């Protein structure tokens, strides 16, 4: 059984002590970094008319990036705040790297953080002094009373006065209870006060030392483009493999049997033998047509031409589970969005039939205000998760190619609810 935690012991938990250590380190580090960056900017600005000034500014920006990396590492280690590293443009050569430093957004955002960090870090430092330091001093006042005094000069004489409140000296029992109680209150409130005080500093770290909205958008587009290219390449390889191993072999067999039929007719062969070869050729032709239909269906199901609601109804009828389909499509989406929604529904229903053990499933589709929302729910055993080998990772990659989202809510014991949202224009 886990021991109960009192407000006083909460001030000395590993998490609270890690935040305390961060607050103690962050302010001096931010102050030193601010001074160095400010000096670098002033010197570089003064010499900017020369080449030396540009090198000084580039070195200052590089120092700000290094300071930002150190700040991210401290925040990750002591605060549990994981800040993604901002992208830095690649450059070749010394002059190219200098140009990238001077023109890159990440570097100047790090400079801005270095200049502003002392202000936000000072709040945490004040809480450390006011809550932790004075909390310990007040709590231990009965033991430290000989050091907790103020020197008062009265004419030519000097006397030492211990803690005093409203003219009353707290130098004897039971007056000691007042600073002890105040110290305990400060220590009990210290973790929460420190968390609030570090809030602006955490926000500044995330805002200036991580990627901005434009960087995140560019990175997302790069990832989705790479996923789209990989998906297209995989589809092309699958089509080539299916054509080579299936349809092509059937058509080659058909051509061979047609040649045999011609030879048999020229040789005036037995009618039964000729009909047997014809039947075999016809079977190859039918199988080749079937393979081509499956191949085309895997690229773009023909039933989608009749609309997504009709396609989902056909998909539900062919499913191994009893499936209820509810649609509310006020504006028909684009063909690309319809295709993605159809294949997502097909994959999710296949997963439900194979892994969930659910007695039935429900597919709900709405399309309004430029957003298509597809929800597949089953009352199975649950436990599905993105990235756990359930096929959801591949669906997420496909959905992201059109800036869509996929979420999965699947607690142990069910139900499993997977929601796909796809924008499809106004």
Q: What is the pLDDT along the chain (426 residues), one digit of tens a residue?
A: 444 456 567 777 888 888 888 888 999 999 999 999 999 999 988 888 888 888 888 899 999 999 999 999 999 999 888 888 877 766 677 788 788 788 888 888 899 999 999 999 999 888 888 788 777 777 776 665 555 555 545 555 444 445 555 444 556 566 556 666 777 787 888 888 888 988 899 999 988 888 776 666 666 666 666 665 566 666 666 666 666 666 666 677 767 777 777 777 777 777 777 777 777 777 777 777 766 666 655 556 667 778 888 888 888 887 778 888 888 888 788 887 888 888 888 888 888 888 777 788 888 988 888 888 899 988 888 887 776 555 777 788 778 777 788 888 888 887 888 888 888 765
Cα 324 to Cα 71: distance, rounded to the nearest angstrom: 53
Cα 375 to Cα 324: distance, rounded to the nearest angstrom: 12
1 CB-near residues (< 8 Å, 6+ apart): none
pLDDT at site 172: 55
Cα 239 to Cα 228: distance, rounded to the nearest angstrom: 16
DSSP state of 256: H
Nearest Cα residue to 423 out of 355, 331, 361, 308: 331
The torsion angles phi and psi of 309, rounded to 5 degrees, stand at -65, -40
Is residue 419 helix, strand or coil?
strand
Cα 426 to Cα 424: distance, rounded to the nearest angstrom: 7
pLDDT tens for residues 133-170?
777 777 776 665 555 555 545 555 444 445 555 444 55
pLDDT at site 89: 66
Cα 273 to Cα 263: distance, rounded to the nearest angstrom: 12
pLDDT tens for residues 78-93?
988 888 887 776 667 7
Instruction: Show the tokens assigned to 71.
Output: 């700040």
The answer to whether the CB of 398 falls within 8 A of the CB of 343 is yes
Burial class (CB in 10 A: 0-12, 13-18, 19+), 330: exposed
Is residue 426 helix, strand or coil?
coil
The torsion angles phi and psi of 179, rounded to 5 degrees, stand at -65, -35
Could you give the dihedral angle defined by the CA atoms of residues 312, 325, 338 and 380, in that order, rounded to the nearest 10 degrees? -90
Cα 206 to Cα 113: distance, rounded to the nearest angstrom: 10
């Amino acid at each position: 059984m886990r021991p109960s935690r009192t407000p006083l012991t909460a001030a000395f938990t590993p998490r609270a002590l890690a935040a305390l250590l961060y607050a103690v380190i962050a302010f001096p580090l931010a102050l030193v970094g601010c001074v160095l960056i400010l000096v670098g900017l002033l010197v570089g600005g003064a010499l900017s008319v020369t080449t030396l000034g540009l090198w000084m500014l580039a070195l200052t920006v590089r120092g700000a990036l290094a300071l930002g990396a150190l700040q991210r590492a401290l925040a990750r280690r002591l605060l549990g705040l994981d800040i993604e590293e901002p992208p830095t443009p690649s450059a070749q050569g010394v002059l190219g790297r200098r140009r990238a430093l001077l023109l890159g957004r990440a570097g100047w955002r790090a400079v801005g953080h270095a200049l502003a960090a002392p202000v936000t870090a000072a709040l945490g430092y004040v809480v450390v002094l006011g809550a932790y330091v004075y909390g310990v001093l007040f709590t231990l006042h009965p033991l430290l009373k000989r050091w907790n005094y103020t020197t008062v000069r009265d004419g030519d004489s000097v006397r030492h006065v211990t803690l005093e409140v409203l003219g009353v000296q707290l130098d004897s029992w039971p007056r000691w209870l007042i600073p002890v109680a105040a110290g305990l209150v400060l220590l009990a409130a210290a973790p929460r006060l420190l968390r609030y005080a570090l809030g602006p500093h955490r926000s500044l770290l995330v805002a200036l030392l991580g990627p901005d909205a434009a960087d995140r958008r560019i990175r997302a587009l790069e990832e989705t483009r790479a996923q789209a290219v990989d998906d297209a390449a995989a589809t092309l390889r699958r089509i080539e493999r299916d054509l080579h191993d299936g349809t092509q072999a059937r058509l080659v067999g058909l051509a061979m049997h047609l040649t045999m039929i011609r030879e048999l007719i020229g040789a005036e062969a037995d009618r039964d033998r000729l009909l047997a070869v014809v039947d075999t050729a016809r079977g190859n032709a039918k199988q080749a047509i079937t393979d081509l239909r499956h191949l085309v269906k895997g690229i773009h199901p023909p039933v989608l031409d009749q609309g997504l609601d009709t396609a989902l109804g056909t998909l539900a009828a062919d499913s191994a589970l009893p499936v209820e389909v509810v649609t509310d499509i006020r504006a028909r989406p684009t063909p690309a969005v319809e295709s993605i929604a159809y294949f997502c529904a097909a994959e999710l229903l296949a997963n439900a039939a194979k892994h969930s053990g659910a007695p039935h499933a429900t597919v709900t589709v709405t399309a309004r205000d430029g957003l298509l929302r597809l929800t597949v729910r089953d009352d199975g055993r649950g436990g599905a998760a993105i990235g756990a080998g359930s096929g959801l990772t591949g669906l997420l990659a496909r959905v992201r190619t059109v800036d869509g989202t996929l979420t999965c809510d699947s607690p142990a014991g069910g139900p499993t609810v997977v929601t796909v949202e796809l924008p499809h224009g106004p």
